[in-house]
Structure 1
Amino acid sequence: MKTYGNQAMKMLMELDLQMFADNTLYELKMAMQTIGQQYKKSEEAYVAVLKDTTSTAEQIQAAQKTKDELKMRFDGIKQQHDALEEEQAEKFKQQQNKLGSNDPKQKLIAAKASLVRSTMRSKPIDNDVRAALGDDSASGGGKFLPKTVSQDVILAPLAKNPLRGHSAVTQITNLELPRLSFTLDDDDFIADMATAKELKAKGDTVAFTRNKFKVFAGVSETVINGSDADLVGHVENALKSGVAAKEKKVAFTTTPKTGEEHMSFYSAENGIVKVTGTDTYTAIRKSIADLHEDYRENAQIVMSYADYSEIIEKLANGNATLYTAQPEQVLGKPVIFADAATKPIVGDLSYSHFNYDIGETFERDKDIKTGIEQFVVTAYFDHRIKLASAFRIADVVPGP
């Protein structure tokens, strides 16, 4: 008795299914041809009966009934044939996209689309798809999100999180980093006493933890059955938006969840110093001056557009030219607008660091209320303020 390996058995099963589909399609074609000929004859017979003045009403009805029944059979078989033929063509197209295209970009899009479709339909993901996405064979059966998809979703620049492009972003398991980018053999080189105290209190390294969150991308049946490019674009945009929203929320929240306190600039756990002023402009200028020169040189201002507009209104005093000035010209440092920044944050954003722990999983779910299928990614990340000394919070305390 012959025995086959798992891969060989899979290939044989796929071959059997393909042969079954091919045979069914051939049988439907033959049936269409046979019934089509019979239907044509029934039409001719029906016309002949109508022309015969001696035909009875019963004979006319019988000829019409035969013609109508054959028409119904022909239409039903044709519908089955066309559906199966379209399915076969789509499978062929997908295979061509994944394996036959010479364009690496098209291959990647096809592989991503196959990943999403397989997940949404609870089907296993083909090995060639995983290979195209750079999946690690050590994942033990493929429950982990392939590297390419993970990097595109997690590490791609995101317009909806204003800190992206300024804060550091990595994807490293069990990440530990030094609080300072360089050290000397003599601690006296640290001129900023606040930094020296912080290093003594918190230690020289920052250890990143795993904080779980889920991102849901709603996918309709129309999108799933659409083009590869549309499907991939829809899902990735939804996931990126969700990731960006989560990053922004934890970084600027004034009421962090338990276990996420260290992620917020405004958390007392981080201990970022507040510098007060009688108005926002004064508080920001004093905050810049209060930073040690090591951080002041690369400092940026993160603030809401409403706060900036208020500053312009007060400074302009009817002078229209100030409205066209760049924010850096007005405040002295580059400005990043984030409406979630309830109080302006001034500092060197290279000391703000997002890290995603490798090990994202993907699954499907269904929104009972809307009936929309959900492509779900579970990710683990952390946001750390590596040095609170590198930042100041501009706080307004009205004068007497």
Structure 2
Amino acid sequence: MSLGKGNFQFFGGSKTLYELKQNMATIGQQLQKTEGELSQKAIDPTASMEDIQAAQKSRDDLKMRFDLIKEQHDQMEAEQKAKFAAKDNIQNIADPNEQVMKAKAELIKATIRQQPIPADVKQILGDRNNTGGEKLLPTTMSDQLLMEPLVKNPLRDISTFTNLMNLEVPKIAFQLDDDDFIADTETAKEMEVTGDVVKFGRNKFKVFAPVSETVLRGTNVNLVQSVERALESGLAAKEKKVAFTKSPKSDEEHMSFYQTGSTAIKVVEGANIYEAIVNALADLHEDYRENARIVMNYADYTKVVSFLNNGNSTYFAAPPETVWGKTVKFIDAATDPIVGDFSYSHFNYDLDVLFERDKNVRTGIEDFVLTAYVDHQIKLKSAFRIAKVIDTP
């Protein structure tokens, strides 16, 4: 039987990988049957040598056919695998945004499944961990979560935010050779007591982003958005909580605008909220008043509008900035309005932002966990005032 190229078209040509698998199965079954017949003839004393040789030749022909089909099959399968691998390779994605999105998804999936993070994912997201032992959040994810979140804390529009390790900053951005250059006596007294440099600490907290198996198996976009929005919401909630709490945790007292004691922000009173804020602005030194902003809750603002309207609806249609001539930010946690130059409100995230995986045993849902270190320093208390309504007996 000739096995020349011309006679082998039945098994070759432009067949699909599936057809080649079918051909391999068919020839394999025939080969197995022929080998069995050959074994029987070999032990049969009545079988002639011609019969045995014919069985051997039939076996060899089928073996050669099987090997040729398998070679073609293996080559085609390898090409298809390479094509799929190239298509799935993050490095081959042309769109940079899509590339980052896929890299984020792969990092989240690998973390949840407790698998190693692929090297190309680390490269795209900016791996800053030289030891390979810790799970530091890559620079791309860290920057976008900490410094450019989709879910925003209104303070982010007016306060200072950084992402630096062991940060120390001067309280005032410039100095003169004259020690008495500070015109605001309250600022001068404060700096004499507390010094002219602020050192930021590390206050650890965790944010949990639940990830169901359905989301994990879904699209990269849905997975990344689901995790990032949960983390961003957690970060925003933490920032607002430490800045406006009146019951701070131990060692976090300095982060609240409402801290008490000798370092408390000065309280300025008025007969009503509107007057209290007017008085607070007037009480600020001009160095801070020019860049002052107002942070208050919306319920208090509606009281101010009702008071100013006095029977008409003029102020309901006007933007809040027209009431006091200053930008107003609404945060429900601001139980008493805070007035001041919020550039002296400074949040810093330490660089060592970690990620890991945890499982909620009660629900069975996996958590992508972010561990961050934040500090909020009010660099100058004298740059702020708390507006409060006079308590009436």
TM-score, normalised on structure 1?
0.76
Look up the match of 1:190: 182
Matched, 1:310 2:303: yes
Query: What pairs with 1:117-128 in structure 2 (closer than 5 Å)?
Result: 117-128=109-120
Amino acid aligned to 2:341: D
CA contact 2:359–2:367 (8 Å) conserved in 1: yes
Distance change in 2, residues 1:225/1:179 (3 Å): same
CA contact 2:151–2:232 (8 Å) conserved in 1: no
CA distance in 1, matches of 2:19, 2:130: 45
Count of residues in correspondence between the two structures: 325
Look up the match of 1:375: 368
CA contact 2:297–2:331 (8 Å) conserved in 1: yes
CA contact 1:94–1:110 (8 Å) conserved in 2: no
CA contact 2:150–2:229 (8 Å) conserved in 1: no
Matched position secondary structure for 1:267:
coil
Distance change in 2, residues 1:232/1:97 (3 Å): farther
Matched, 1:111 2:113: no
Q: 1:161 aligns with which of 153, 160, 178?
A: 153
CA distance in 2, matches of 1:168, 1:304: 21
Look up the match of 1:243: 235
CA contact 1:97–1:110 (8 Å) conserved in 2: no
Amino acid aligned to 1:216: F
Matched position secondary structure for 2:117:
coil
Amino acid aligned to 1:182: F
Structure 1 window deviating more from structure 2 (219-228 vs 157-166): it is 157-166
Amino acid aligned to 2:103: A
Task: State the Cα distance separating 1:31 from its structure 2 match.
Answer: 10
CA contact 1:365–1:374 (8 Å) conserved in 2: yes
Structure 1 gaps of 5+ residues are: 1-24, 35-84
Offset from partner CA, 1:262-317 (integer Å, 9 cap, x none) = 00000015420000111111110000000000000000000000000011111111
Matched, 1:271 2:227: no
Task: State the Cα distance separating 1:28 from its structure 2 match.
Answer: 12
Query: What pairs with 1:60-209 in structure 2 (closer than 5 Å)?
Result: 92=84, 96=88, 98-209=90-201
Structure 1 window deviating more from structure 2 (326-335 vs 251-260): it is 326-335
Distance change in 2, residues 1:159/1:30 (3 Å): same
Matched position secondary structure for 2:101:
helix
Structure 1 window deviating more from structure 2 (208-217 vs 101-110): it is 101-110
Q: 2:279 aligns with which of 282, 286, 291?
A: 286
CA contact 2:150–2:232 (8 Å) conserved in 1: yes
Over the residues paired in the alignment, what is the CA RMSD in angstroms?
A: 2.5
CA contact 2:207–2:235 (8 Å) conserved in 1: yes
CA contact 1:278–1:399 (8 Å) conserved in 2: no
Task: State the Cα distance separating 1:92 from its structure 2 match.
Answer: 3.8
CA distance in 1, matches of 2:24, 2:296: 70
Query: What pairs with 1:303-342 in structure 2 (closer than 5 Å)?
Result: 303-342=296-335
Offset from partner CA, 1:169-203 (integer Å, 9 cap, x none) = 10000000000111111121100000000111110
Look up the match of 2:389: 396
Q: Which of the two has higher C-alpha Rg?
A: 2
Distance change in 2, residues 1:198/1:172 (3 Å): same
Q: 1:254 aligns with which of 230, 241, 246?
A: 246
Amino acid aligned to 1:348: D
Offset from partner CA, 1:121-161 (integer Å, 9 cap, x none) = 00001111101111124243352111111111111145441
CA distance in 2, matches of 1:95, 1:123: 22
Distance change in 2, residues 1:200/1:191 (3 Å): same
Query: What pairs with 1:219-230 in structure 2 (closer than 5 Å)?
Result: 219-230=211-222
Matched position secondary structure for 2:109:
helix
CA distance in 2, matches of 1:204, 1:140: 39
CA contact 2:129–2:136 (8 Å) conserved in 1: no
Percent of aligned pairs with the same amino acid: 58
CA contact 1:97–1:107 (8 Å) conserved in 2: no
CA contact 2:151–2:229 (8 Å) conserved in 1: no
Amino acid aligned to 2:339: V
Matched position secondary structure for 2:127:
coil
Distance change in 2, residues 1:26/1:364 (3 Å): farther
Amino acid aligned to 1:114: E
Distance change in 2, residues 1:320/1:31 (3 Å): farther
Distance change in 2, residues 1:368/1:281 (3 Å): same
Matched position secondary structure for 2:165:
coil
Structure 1 window deviating more from structure 2 (380-389 vs 311-320): it is 311-320
Distance change in 2, residues 1:332/1:367 (3 Å): same
Structure 1 window deviating more from structure 2 (361-370 vs 164-173): it is 361-370
